Amino acid sequence: MRGMWRYREALADLGFEQLDVYEHASFDVLRVRRISDGRVMRIRLPRHRKDLSIDEFKRIIRRETRRL
């Protein structure tokens, strides 16, 4: 898919490395690794990445990683 590298870069800006993306019918699940300590997390997005702006994507990642 074109333009998905922007989401990978957004994760890197937040201190994460993208490992996998699981695309479901109406949402995506990301598997990411926190660079600082190597912890692996799964983050469920409310919609597909392509339907989210970069700012909205970053906001969701910050909110979900605080919960974990």
Distance CA 37, CA 45 (A): 23
Alpha carbons 40 and 24: distance in angstroms, whole number: 20
The total of other beta-carbon atoms located within 10 Å of residue 54's CB is 13
What's the rounded mean pLDDT across residues 55-66? 96
**Res. 1: pLDDT tops 70:** no
- Model confidence band, residue 67 (pLDDT cutoffs 50, 70, 90): confident
